[in-house]
Amino acid sequence: MAKLNGHGHKQVKRICCIGAGYVGGPTCAVIANKAPHIHVDVVDLNEKRISAWKSDHLPIYEPGLVEMTVLPRDGSPDRPPNLFFTTDVKASITKADLIFLCVATPTKYTGIGSGRAADLVYIESATRMIAEAATSDKIVVEKSTVPCKTAASIREILSAVGKPDVHFDILSNPEFLAEGTAIRNLEQPDRLLIGSLTTDRGLRAAASLVDVYAEWVPRERIVTMHLWSSEMAKLAANALLAQRISSINALSAICESTGADIDEVAYAVGLDKRIGPKMLKSSVGFGGSCFRKDVLNLVYIAQTLHLPEVATYWEQVVEMNEYQKQRFSKRIVSCLYTTLTDKRVALLGFAYKKDTGDTRESAAISIVNSLVAEKADVRIYDPKVDADAIWMELQWTSPNFADTQKRVTVCKTAYEACEDAHAAVIATEWDEFNNKDTEVHIREVNGLAVIGRSPSSYSTGSGMQFSNGTLETSPAPKNGHRVIGTASAADGGHLQDGLSMTPTPTSPTITKQRARGLSMYDNSGINGSNADENLKPWMGSQPASPQATTHTAKPTHGSKNPRLDWAKVASVMQKPMFVFDGRNVVDAVKLEDLGFRVESIGKPGGLRGE
């Protein structure tokens, strides 16, 4: 790790962030909120987006973002505003001490490296603008995900285009945010990486950025390293996270054919400390703007370095993700008697994961296109994605958009989408679709941790289980309980609240969508998972009893929408009724009691007990 020279570095008083999207907006809102003495400008060429940031209706949905933004943006009687949104890019660059590059780095879809290489056109454009506008020394910080050694290209452009007496120091400071938990990730990061050259100027520049984050982040969580290592670390992190998701999804296919339950398998595997419970939630695949793009970028880098075996290895991560989506769509067709012609199918969720309105590379896109190809009547509902965003995605990815327009309807409620439907497909794990118990009881019986519903309900034959550290309902054995693990006095019988990864897949279409009228400074998006969320204990330490001690734990739910009344849904759907759970968020037994047939990822199909 690079050692910083603590003397003589510049104090950052003004920041300019180029890019008012999913990374730039939240990042600067938190910086401005936590460091009221720093003037923060967020700039973008998209006037509509900037106007939205100035309004009561922010251009992106992120829990906690409004609260984090309003105080520094609007100010208060005892605090002047220090967060500003503007289209005057040149003026903001001129006045800034430090400039964040938060622009898009989509996959190229034409030319050399098409379908794999990162398109750095927006990086270059922003860099040239910095060089032309800067009249004093600047620290330029890459936050966008870029190929290793991109900083060298940035430095070359700045040196060639910039004024002779202006010096630029380049840093890498990749984001490790997850949509849906971005504000929490920014307030309490696992780590912050700052990469610099090991020259005196490079280390002083890094120290200046460290001081900005040290306003609220413990210094031991701020890691400094070489510039190239920091750039590579971001790509490596996303590739490894995507690999883990594809690995559990590959196992889910085997589970469906053998009768094993992927949630139980994932829980058992996650108990191994070498593996851990995170990112082991099977689904229809990963989505968002990062994973697919960054893995394919890594594939291209390996190819250009003449490492074909390495390229093939990482390419399989994306291939498995596409296979998972196709497999799920084929399962829908197979269960509905091999024909969907004019059958109504409700698609519940269109965002690539819950607690965000982002639809980029969402699994729902692939599912809709597959259903339309089968001539189904598709009804879409998502609580946070408006109709315009849905139609934009479908327009850019549909093989026959005219046919899609005829067969797809965007609904305002889940009940409207499900009316007269033959099937409901859960594509996003919004909490309102979840019908699982909000309370779970953890019992210690003769040293064993037994997790189930309230003890009085054991005779119903249904139980609760932990999956990847998350709570899942599943059928219980006839004796009324399921033995999950061992509770010991050493750990107080602690069980940890883990993360439900909830990704969502990608559309095979290479990201042409970045040309869809978004600003050139629309950032590349934040990670498609809440992988950085810390595990927290469910229970405090309590003495283990050789008899039975009951603890109650309440899972948290991020959605403010009321839960779906599945009994009401059952009353309006066609018979037989199918639920295809692409996120494993429903209690299959409870739905089957209502007359549904439930097909879940990584679990054998058909009615339980068949």
Average pLDDT over residues 85-99: 98
Q: What is the structure's pLDDT at 490? A: 32
Q: Is 24 annotated as a binding residue?
A: yes
Q: Is 290 annotated as a binding residue?
A: yes
Average pLDDT over residues 471-482: 37
For residues 121 and 255, state if they share a domain.
Answer: no
Q: Is 104 annotated as a binding residue?
A: yes
pLDDT of 566 strictly over 90: yes
Q: What is the structure's pLDDT at 317? A: 98
Q: Is 23 annotated as a binding residue?
A: yes
Q: Which of 46, 29, 579 is nearest to 332 (CA)?
A: 579
Q: Is 49 annotated as a binding residue?
A: yes
Quote the tokens at residue 110: 């034409």
Q: What is the structure's pLDDT at 533? A: 30
Q: Which of 25, 21, 17, 73 is nearest to 43 (CA)?
A: 17
Q: Which ranges of 134-171 would DSSP assign to H, the alpha helix? A: 150-161
Cis peptide before 576 (omega within 30 of 0): yes
**Domain membership flag for residue 517:** no
Residue 308 pLDDT level (bands cut at 50, 70, 90): very high
Q: What is the structure's pLDDT at 605? A: 76
**Domain membership flag for residue 7:** no
Q: Is 21 annotated as a binding residue?
A: yes
**Domain membership flag for residue 592:** yes
For residues 54 and 97, state if they share a domain.
Answer: yes
For residues 468 and 414, state if they share a domain.
Answer: no
- Full DSSP string of 554-587: -------SPPP-HHHHHHHSPSSEEEEESS--S-
- The Cα 465–Cα 512 span in angstroms is 42
DSSP conformational letter for 4: P
Q: What is the structure's pLDDT at 452? A: 43
For residues 250 and 262, state if they share a domain.
Answer: yes
Q: Is 360 annotated as a binding residue?
A: yes
- Give the chain's mean pLDDT: 84
- The Cα 594–Cα 607 span in angstroms is 12
* Gyration radius of the chain over CA positions: 25
Q: What is the dihedral of CA 582, 585, 588, 589, to 10 degrees?
A: 180
- 147, 231 contact by CB (below 8 A): yes
pLDDT of 342 strictly over 60: yes
Q: What is the structure's pLDDT at 427? A: 98
- Full DSSP string of 304-345: HTT-HHHHHHHHHHHHHHHHHHHHHHHHHHHHTTT--TT-EE
**Domain membership flag for residue 512:** no
Q: Is 17 annotated as a binding residue?
A: no
Percentage of the chain beyond pLDDT 90 is: 76
pLDDT tens column, 343-354: 999 999 999 999
**Domain stop point among 227, 249, 283:** 227
- The Cα 217–Cα 204 span in angstroms is 19
pLDDT tens column, 439-474: 544 445 455 554 443 333 333 333 333 333 333 333
Residue 438 pLDDT level (bands cut at 50, 70, 90): low
pLDDT tens column, 214-271: 999 999 999 999 999 999 999 999 999 999 999 999 999 999 999 999 999 999 999 9
Q: Is 349 annotated as a binding residue?
A: no
For residues 250 and 127, state if they share a domain.
Answer: no
Catalytic residue among 16, 290, 411, 418: 290
Q: What is the structure's pLDDT at 346? A: 99
Residue 391, number of CB atoms within 10 A of its CB: 17
- 555, 83 contact by CB (below 8 A): no
**Domain membership flag for residue 279:** yes
For residues 544 and 595, state if they share a domain.
Answer: no
For residues 551 and 566, state if they share a domain.
Answer: no
pLDDT tens column, 527-556: 544 333 332 222 223 333 333 333 333 333
> Phi and psi dihedrals of 243, rounded to 5?
-60, -40
**Domain membership flag for residue 523:** no
Strand, helix or coil at 29? Answer: helix
Q: What is the structure's pLDDT at 555? A: 36
Is 16 among the residues known to form the active site? Answer: no
**Domain membership flag for residue 172:** yes
For residues 111 and 245, state if they share a domain.
Answer: no
Between 537 and 46, residue with greater pLDDT: 46
Quote the tokens at residue 254: 């085997």
- The Cα 566–Cα 378 span in angstroms is 19
**Domain stop point among 227, 259, 283:** 227
Residue 2 pLDDT level (bands cut at 50, 70, 90): low
Query: Structural domain tally of the chain?
Result: 3
Q: Which of 356, 303, 313, 355 is nearest to 147 (CA)?
A: 303
Q: Is 179 annotated as a binding residue?
A: yes
- Kindly list the distances between the CA atom of residue 162 and the CA atoms of 28, 158, 168, in Å, as whole numbers in the listed order: 26, 5, 9
> Phi and psi dihedrals of 251, rounded to 5?
-70, -30
CATH number for the domain spanning 592: value is: 3.40.50.720
- The Cα 368–Cα 347 span in angstroms is 8
Q: What is the structure's pLDDT at 8? A: 78
- Taking the CA atoms of 536, 351, 564 and 368 in sequence, report the sign of the dihedral they define: negative
**In which residue are the tokens 């750990």 written?**
491
pLDDT of 517 strictly over 50: no
For residues 268 and 381, state if they share a domain.
Answer: yes
Q: Is 106 annotated as a binding residue?
A: yes
**Domain membership flag for residue 388:** yes
Average pLDDT over residues 168-173: 98
Q: What is the dihedral of CA 130, 134, 140, 143, to 10 degrees?
A: -40
- The Cα 401–Cα 391 span in angstroms is 10
Q: Is 221 annotated as a binding residue?
A: no
Q: What is the structure's pLDDT at 608? A: 52
- Taking the CA atoms of 314, 319, 320 and 322 in sequence, report the sign of the dihedral they define: positive
Average pLDDT over residues 264-292: 95
Q: Which of 478, 536, 520 is nearest to 103 (CA)?
A: 520
- 49, 59 contact by CB (below 8 A): yes
Q: Which of 191, 124, 188 is nearest to 158 (CA)?
A: 124
Chain-centroid distance of CA 572 in Å reads 33
DSSP conformational letter for 27: H
- The Cα 536–Cα 322 span in angstroms is 33
Q: What is the structure's pLDDT at 437? A: 84
For residues 256 and 209, state if they share a domain.
Answer: no
Domain of residue 364: give its range. 239-432+562-600
**In which residue are the tokens 């971001």 written?**
234
For residues 279 and 420, state if they share a domain.
Answer: yes
Quote the tokens at residue 126: 């922003």
For residues 488 and 591, state if they share a domain.
Answer: no
Q: Is 292 annotated as a binding residue?
A: yes
DSSP conformational letter for 78: T
